Structure 1
Amino acid sequence: MTDLVVTGGEVLLPDGPAWVDVSVAGGRVQGLHAPGTAPPAPETVNATGLTVLPGIVDIHFHVRAPAYPERGTVLSETRAAAAGGVTTLFEMPISKPCCATPGIFEDRRAHFAEHAVVDFGLYAAPGDMTEATRDRFLDLGAIAFKIFTTPAPPGRGDEFDGLAFPGEADQLRALELLAGTGRPVVVHAESASLLAHFEAAARATRDPASGYTHNAARPAVCESVAVAKLLAMNIRAGAKLHIAHVTSAETVAVLRAFAGTSDFTAETCPQYLFATEDDVDRAGVFAKVNPPIRTRTDQDALWQAIADGIITHVTTDHAPFAFDEKNAAAGDFFAAPPGSPGIETLLPAMLDAVAAARLTLKQAHDLCCANGARLYGLAPRKGTLLPGADADMALVDLAGETQVRRGGLVSHARDVAHLWDGRVFRGRVARTLLAGRTVWDGAEVTGAEGAGRFVRP
């Protein structure tokens, strides 16, 4: 029996947009129909004037739950995801304690299942780097693995134990251990020794209140050197390597130089594509993220890398913090915690790139959804609206606008959204459906707590 028909909209299919109606049964796409020919259904969604996209899959997301509820909870941040057209997200393993043992993974999976409004996958950290731990994570359905090439931040050792590997020998061990699993190995890549060197120099010579200081303390060479070493090691290891949040022209040059040498991919984020360090200086410590937002030259290089297929993913790196945490470090970029909310602005930002003719609609969707679904083994269940796929949809108004106002987002971190405050993106999420049920109606989140499902490759 048909449960729902979405009618009147232009639907993005793998070959491009098409004027079809979408019928839904049992939470999955039942069929694609010429306008007006879909079977009768008890519910109809009128998408006239809208474009129907497969629900967005964000492969890089942080909420750290159940720790730090003052920053946001699974409920608050998956509600924000629904408001942004994101129907599936992958939660990184930074938690308290770190998601580096199978037991912690199971606890987090149960916690997310109880509270999530949208579907979710969970990363694992390699932990003790034994085959037994690795294989148990695979059995439990870890969507991928994550490591840092930086040491644990001071005072946060338990959040990074089994995740942070600043030594190259350990990095190679992790790549070799996880090669052949079929799961991506995602790396936050910055050189630990260069970070220490440049931070010491910046502390001695730079104004801690300046928005340009953070970039000076973590310059692009820290990233590019770490990425070059990883790519060189992966020629030997053969892992399914994925470089997180690329920020710089220098790192793009490294990616180009290593093209074809091993199985690797790379991502960037809207904060690096749509903002520069000038915006960070304006917004202050609330716009501090790691790695730093850089210059217009770096931004241009990232867009060119997307055009050339060097960078194939755009993700949020959504990382909420409480206002009091950020504000306590006002005027001190060295002390401020790094992170900014981004789950509600990913799709509007990509639609803005379509409006500016930087991308086609299909390219934009591939970058923030379909490519990720394929890389992580979820296609064609996610990332398409072909028959049999999950009926996850983002109905967008390409002619509309998203006006970002600090305090006006759904995210619990709405009060630290200074980076995007006042920004207008051309494009608006008018409705979000998860498994054929409306979870965002354009004004309010209507999705139920616990309706999100755990997804595995």
Structure 2
Amino acid sequence: MADLVISGGDVLLPEGLSRVDVSVTGGKVSGLHTPGTAPDAGEVIDATGRTVLPGIVDIHFHVRAPAYPERGTVLSETRAAAAGGVTTIFEMPISKPCCATPEIFEDRRAHFAQHAVVDFGLYAAPGDLTEATCDRFLDQGAIAFKIFTTPAPPGRGDEFDGLAFPEEDDQFRALKLLAGTGRPVVVHAESAALLAHFDRIARADLNPASSYSHNLSRPTVCESVAVAKLLAMNMSAGAKLHIAHVTSAETVTVLRAFAGTSDFTAETCPQYLFSTEDDVDRAGVYAKVNPPIRSKRDQDALWQAIADGTITHVTTDHAPFAKAEKAASEGNFFDAPPGSPGIETLLPGMLDAVADGRLTLKQAHDLCCANGARLYGLAPRKGTLLPGADADMAIVDPGRETVVTLGSLVTHARDVAHLWQGRRFRGRVERTLLAGRTVWNGTEVTGPEGGGRYITP
């Protein structure tokens, strides 16, 4: 007898959609059955007219906990993940202090384990760039490593100590060291020197209240130059390099030029695929993110890069801030904090792209789930619904809409989600299951605090 059977739905399997019933035992998928032939079960979920997807794996997520609870907590933001059909998140190492020592890493792991509603993995910052430190992170199960090619923002040195490497020699040392770990090395890639150059010009010549000043102070060349240098260095370093949040047509051209030269992948985010700088102008400082949201030309280039396989991942870069922090910078784009919540709009946005004909359902799911599970060493436990996989699922209704309003979101940062206010996406998350347990029932989060598991490669 199974613990649970999901019946009547169209289930996304590696070969595509299939009308099968899914049985779950002990938190794992125990069988795929011709409709009507599943074993008896303690619980049956009727998914008729619905699509059953493997739970989404978001490989780029920020909550910064336990610091800054006014922005959101592990509990609040993993509850939001559950509401968005996301069953596994990978938390970035920006914290206060930075997650750059094994001791801080262990404290964060314990904190997340106490409060997370969904499964979680943790990034490490390479810290002192020694093999001893990296080996300890590996022993602790770090899902991957992260570095910035930019300096620490003013006043936030302790959050970036051991994470920010603006000098190229340190970037190369990090790539070379981390190549030996076999784990992905995710890089926020912008040129420190060019950022400083354009920021000086912008602050002297531009109106800080104009949303367009952000793009002019942080233009696409800052990103494309940094990515080109990293890819050139990686030809020697040999790291498993992953370029975070690609935003521009220029950077897409660079990625194509370096295709095949080393082991690298790239991601973009819904804010770049579904918004342009005109949307930022409408939403104000609440929609400021780094790197900036660009032009329609850049947006089109990102979609083309997805179509031809240059970009193989779509992630949220979910980064909540308190409303007071954003509101204090209204009228000053230069100094406004960068970040926007996005964990609840990832899957509806990708389902809308399917409805538009931009992607097949399998392509959309690969981009925001299965490709990440494979890259980070979690497949087939995550990212599939084959027997033996974790019974993590998002049951969606492709015929219903998700209408985003600030009050409708679960994230603690709902009051600063202006970028998504009023959006209508075709596709709605009706139920989320973690290890066969419902953690979102379509109207409320039902998963328990601390119910998420620590995930290692």
TM-score range (shorter-chain normalised) is over 0.9
1:162-201 equivalent positions in 2, closer than 5 A: 162-201=162-201
* Aligned match of 2:82: 82
Query: In 2, distance between residues paired with 1:139 and 1:180?
Result: 14
Mapped to 2, the partners of 1:82 and 1:8 lie a distance apart of: 23
Aligned partner of residue 71 in structure 2, secondary structure:
coil
Supply the distance in 1 between the matched residues of 2:385 and 2:449 (Cα, whole angstroms). Answer: 25
3-state SS of paired residue (2:22) = strand
Cα separation, 1, equivalents of 2:156 and 2:203: 21
Which structure 1 segments of 5+ residues have no match?
Answer: none
Q: 1:28 is matched with which residue?
A: 28
Given the alignment of the two structures, is residue 326 of structure 1 paired with residue 326 of structure 2, yes or no?
yes
Question: What is the 5 A alignment of 1:96-135?
Answer: 96-135=96-135
**Structural mapping, 1:421-440, within 5 Å:** 421-440=421-440
Partners of 2:436 and 2:330 in 1: how far apart?
A: 44
2:140 paired residue number: 140
Q: Which residue of 1 aligns with 2:61?
A: 61
CA contact 1:118–1:451 (8 Å) conserved in 2: yes
Q: Quote the Cα distance in structure 2 between the aligned partners of 1:191 and 1:140.
A: 32
Partner of 2:227: 227
Output the CA distance in 1 between the equivalents of 2:275 and 2:50.
28
Counterpart residue identity of residue 169, structure 1: D
Deviation readout 1:264-309 (Å, 9 max, x if unpaired): 0000000000000000011000000000000000000000000000
Q: Deviations over 1:304-328 (max 9, x none)?
A: 0000000000000000000000000
Q: Name the residue aligned to 1:335.
A: 335
In the TM superposition, 1:52-451 aligns within 5 A as 52-451=52-451
Paired AA for residue 358 in structure 1: R
Q: Matched residues in 2 for 1:165 and 1:184: separation?
A: 17
8 Å Cα contact 1:402-1:425 kept in structure 2: yes
Question: 1:60 touches 1:318 (CA, 8 Å); kept in 2?
Answer: yes
Residues 361-399 of structure 1 show CA distances to partners (whole Å, capped at 9, x for unaligned) of 000000000000000000000000000000000000111
Q: State the SS of the aligned residue for 1:169.
A: helix
SS in 2 for 1:70: helix
Q: CA separation in 1, counterparts of 2:400 and 2:335?
A: 39
Q: Is the contact between residue 207 and residue 213 of structure 1 (CA under 8 Å) also seen in structure 2?
A: yes
Which one-letter code corresponds to 1:47 in the other structure? A
Which letter does structure 1 place at the counterpart of 2:91?
E
1:408 Cα deviation after fit = 2.0
Contact kept, 8 Å, 1:432 with 1:441, in 2: the verdict is yes
Letter in 1 for 2:175: L
Structure 2: which amino acid aligns with 1:192?
A
| SS class of match (2:139) | helix
How far has the Cα of 1:144 moved from its partner? 0.1
Once residues 219 and 406 of structure 1 are traced to their aligned partners in structure 2, the CA distance between those partners, rounded to angstroms, is 30
Quote the offset at 1:2 in angstroms: 1.0
**One-letter code aligned to 2:43:** E
CA distance in 2, matches of 1:152, 1:408: 34
Letter in 1 for 2:386: L
Q: Is the 8 A contact 1:118 1:453 kept in 2?
A: yes
In structure 1, C-alpha distance between the alignment counterparts of 2:274 and 2:312, rounded to whole Å: 17
3-state SS in 1 of match to 2:256: helix
Counterpart CA distance in 2 for 1:42 and 1:255 is 50
Shift of 1:433: 0.2
Q: Give the unaligned 5+ runs of structure 2.
A: none
Equivalent-residue separation in structure 2 for 1:42 and 1:29 (angstroms): 15
1:42 match: secondary structure: strand
CA distance in 1, matches of 2:45, 2:165: 49
CA distance in 2, matches of 1:233, 1:175: 8
Q: Distance in 2 between matches of 1:42 and 1:131?
A: 50
Query: Equivalent residue of 1:395, what SS?
Result: strand
Write the letter of the residue equivalent to 2:216. Answer: A
Q: How far, CA to CA, are the matches of 1:234 and 1:335 in structure 2? A: 33
Conserved 8 A contact 1:402-1:427:
yes
Q: Is the 8 A contact 1:286 1:418 kept in 2?
A: yes
Let me know the Cα RMSD of the aligned residues: 0.4
Asked if the contact 1:407–1:417 (Cα under 8 Å) also holds between the matched residues in 2, the reply is no
Q: What is the Cα deviation at residue 182 of structure 1? A: 1.4
Please list the CA deviations of residues 5-51 of structure 1 after superposition, one character each: whole Å capped at 9, or x if unmatched.
00010000000000000000000000000001000001001101100
**Which amino acid counterpart does residue 444 of structure 1 have in structure 2?**
E
Task: Give the secondary structure class of the aligned counterpart of 1:44.
Answer: strand
1:81 partner SS: helix
Query: Is the Cα contact below 8 Å between 1:53 and 1:394 reproduced in 2?
Result: yes
Deviation at 1:406, TM superposition (A): 1.6
Offset of 1:410 from its aligned partner?
0.1
Q: CA deviation at 1:180?
A: 2.7
Contact in 2 for aligned 1:49/1:397 (Cα 8 Å): yes
C-alpha separation between the residues in 2 aligned to 1:229 and 1:345? 33
- How many residues in Structure 1 have an aligned counterpart in Structure 2? 457
Q: Shift of the alpha carbon at 1:407?
A: 2.7
Distance 1:210 1:55 in 2: 39
Separation in structure 1 between the aligned mates of residue 395 and residue 54 of structure 2, nearest angstrom: 9
Please give the secondary structure, in 2, of the residue aligned with 1:106: helix
Following TM superposition, by how much is the alpha carbon of 1:447 offset from its aligned partner in structure 2, in angstroms? 0.4
AA aligned to 2:417 is A
| Greater than 3 Å deviation, 4+ residue runs | none
